[in-house]
Amino acid sequence: MARQMTGAKMVVQALKDQGVDTVFGYPGGAVLPIYDEIFLQNDIRHILVRHEQGAVHAAEGYARSTGRPGVVLVTSGPGATNAVTGLTDALMDSIPIVVLTGQVPTFMIGTDGFQEADTVGITRPCTKHNWLVKETDKLADTIHQAFHVARSGRPGPVLVDIPKDVQFASGTYVAPKSARVSHYQPQVKGDIGAITKLVAAMEKAERPIFYTGGGVINSGPAASQLLRELVDATGFPITSTLMGLGAYPASGKHWMGMLGMHGLYEANMAMHDCDLMINIGARFDDRITGRLDAFSPHSTKAHVDIDPSSINKVIRVDIPIIGDVGHVLEDILKVWKSRGRKTHKDGLAKWWGKIGDWRKVACLSYTNSKKVIKPQYALERLEALTKDRDRYICTEVGQHQMWAAQYLTFEDPNRWMTSGGLGTMGYGFPASIGVQMAHPDALVINVAGEASWLMNMQEMGTAMQYRLPVKQFILNNERLGMVRQWQELLHGERYSQSWSESLPDFVKLAEAFGAKGIICKDPADLDDAILEMLAHDGPVIFDCLVEKHENCFPMIPSGKPHNEMLLGNASTKDAIQAGGAVLV
């Protein structure tokens, strides 16, 4: 039934019909009619953030931990421009979010009106798609389209820009069912010929490896289940990118740990020496490949991706399979079983032997201290004291993020929220708010560095207002640790602008917001302090003062291949040459 209503009411109705229960936002002049409608209803909960960037990251946290699109509502001009970082972050990590922005009325567009910005122009390169709605009659249809595009294919952020007069005017509402059918229907089934080719390669492979990524998580929980079944049935080793942690359980028999620049030695060595690489939902990112011309030189490479533009973008593959990870995994399993569940048993046994040798290097070992808390030790303790709980982990960006990926374990998908592609400092705290909103009874921890955390610290107000017991576990080294590490390795130990002067007293800061603050600097006190944090029913800022000059290892230096990893401080001298220094 088509119904007449105002544009503002349509927005709220469309969100309800799309199953939205939470909106993260910040009001302003150009969205007041929509906020009026939000005031008049109780189905959708609005979370008032303290900065629009926080709204988008919170929506990302919500989306990543639930698999459903996160929704953001902000005003025109600065509201929209403040959302740009979050949109770019979501685009890089393929996170479905729908951002609704207010706009000056249509008759003022182009006049440089108050709080006017060319939102659609500014966000065109940082959204999967965006729309400016100029007629109220098209508003509901556009919002439904926006959800469809955000969710379909390779997920991503979309934006709908709604001028204020469109919000006030009346028009015809269309329900999702009667909305225009979009031509945008990405292919989900993989080509069965290519899948058969891959299975044939799997049967013969002596040194195979699964290299999985965020695409497995984006494909849904069923894809993770199928992946587990396939890995365990074939007995192939599996490694994952930062984005894909949790798709295969860390306690699983065939798990090798994360790969990449700060990935595990055994994972990177296996990638380099394998004869069959099966990339499932990852994109050969530069953090993964290292030097391209020396990337896994002797392997046959298969790549499963729903986005055709990911295939052959940086690495030429032998067996491209375009399709949804879940659908493709199902077909791989079906074909492999129907052909008699064959693998090269002898080759595999030898391969695992070699992997065992690499594991003996114990690349994550570090020198602990009784005097000062090592960041690795802090994460080991956090892991030990929380791993049996219903736990979600967010991170900011930097050394702490890599240590969290190395020392924390993930048994299930959607439990790990980190800014991978864009590397957005300030991501973790608002993301933890979004996660906690979606999972009110779960333990949500944001592993942070002090510098990253300060970038969106204003969201303490949001956490307090909605009584969200997010735990901010700050590894405080009073440094921009990763910047410092690169300056040590690459720039002659000239630590230009990379230490945090004038840091706040984090305990007092917590108390100023009405939250709990804990400081810990003695390794002997760490367990009790962590337990105190876990026991507190409310937001906690945990100021964990750690070793200031710890470097994150292992590390593939810029411009080096996988088999030339740095394992510790002893080997770092002149490790990166001029060619590598130019890389990020």
Partner 1 sequence: MSALKIKKGSTSHSAYELRDPNADIVERHTLACIVENEPGVLARVIGLFSGRGYNIESLTVAEIDHTGHMSRITVVTTGTPAVIDQIKAQLGRIVPVHEVHDLTVEGPSVERELGLFKVSGKGDQRVEALRLADIFRANVVDSTLESFIFEITGTPEKIDAFADLMRPLGLQEVARTGVAALSRGAI
Residue 221, CA atoms < 13 Å, CB-side half-sphere? 8
Which C-beta is closer to partner 1: that of 154 or that of 262? 154
- Mutual orientation of helices 52-66 and 428-438 as an angle, nearest 10°? 50
Q: What does the block give as tokens for 330?
A: 């199902």
Q: Hey, which residues between 145 and 164 contact partner 1 (CB under 8 A)?
A: 149
Cα–Cα distance measured from residue 525 to residue 523, given in angstroms and rounded to the nearest whole number: 5
Binding of residue 313 to partner 1 (CB under 8 A): yes
| C-alpha atoms less than 13 angstroms from C-alpha of 290 in its C-beta half-sphere | 26
Task: Kindly state the smallest distance separating residue 157's Cβ from partner 1, in Å.
Answer: 13
Min dist CB 214 to partner 1, Å, is 17
Residue 464 falls in the annotated catalytic set:
no
Amino acid identity at 507: V
Contact 406, 364 (CB under 8 A): yes
Q: In sequence order, what are the residues at sequence separation of 6 or more whose Cβ sits closer than 8 angstroms to the Cβ of residue 502?
A: none
Residue 532 CB coordination number (10 Å) = 15
Alpha carbon distance 105, 140 (integer Å):
18
128 makes contact with partner 1 (CB under 8 A): yes
Instruction: State the catalytic residue, choosing from 9, 128, 138, 164.
Output: 164
If the CB atoms of residues 24 and 147 are measured against partner 1, the closer one turns out to be 147
Per the residue annotation, which of 16, 114, 253, 511 is the catalytic one?
114
Interatomic CA distance for residues 258 and 488, integer angstroms: 25
Q: What are phi and psi of 59, to 5 degrees?
A: -65, -35
* 125 in contact with partner 1 (CB under 8 A): yes
Report the half-sphere exposure of 45 (CA within 13 A, side-chain side).
Answer: 10
DSSP string, 509-556: HHHHTT-EEEEE--GGGHHHHHHHHHH-SS-EEEEEEB-TT----SB-
CB of 260 to partner 1, least distance (A): 23
**Closer of 48 and 315 to partner 1 (Cβ):** 315
138 tagged catalytic: no
Token pair belonging to 120: 């659609």
Q: Is 164 a catalytic residue?
A: yes
Stretch that binds partner 1, among 78-86, 190-198, 301-309, 378-386 (CB under 8 A): 301-309
> How many C-beta atoms lie closer than 10 Å to residue 352's C-beta?
15
CB-CB contact of 7 with 139 (8 Å)? yes
114 is known as an active-site residue: yes
Residue 308 in contact with partner 1, rule: CB under 8 A: yes
| Pair 102, 164: CB distance under 8 Å | yes
Q: How far is the CB of 531 from partner 1 (least distance, A)?
A: 49
User: Is 115 known to be catalytic?
Assistant: yes
> How many residues of this chain bind partner 1 (CB under 8 A)?
17
CB-wise, 129 or 204, nearer to partner 1? 129
Q: Quick check: 307 binds partner 1 (CB under 8 A)?
A: yes
- Asked if 110 interacts with partner 1 (CB under 8 A), we say no
Nearest-approach distance from CB 183 to partner 1, in angstroms? 6
Does position 129 interact with partner 1 (CB under 8 A)? The reply is yes
According to the binding rule CB under 8 A, does residue 185 interact with partner 1?
A: no
- If one asks whether residue 121 binds partner 1 (CB under 8 A), the answer comes out as yes
Q: Is 31 in contact with 102 (CB distance < 8 Å)? A: yes
- Per CB under 8 A, the list member of 309, 496, 497, 502 interacting with partner 1 is 309
Our CB check for partner 1 shows the closer of 3 and 316 to be 316
Q: Is 132 in the site for partner 1 (CB under 8 A)?
A: yes
With respect to partner 1, which residue has the nearer C-beta, 268 or 310? 310
Decide if residue 282 touches partner 1 (CB under 8 A).
Answer: no
* Interface ranges with partner 1 (CB under 8 A): 120-121, 124-125, 128-129, 132, 149, 183-184, 307-309, 311-313, 316
Catalytic residue annotation: 52, 114-115, 164, 482
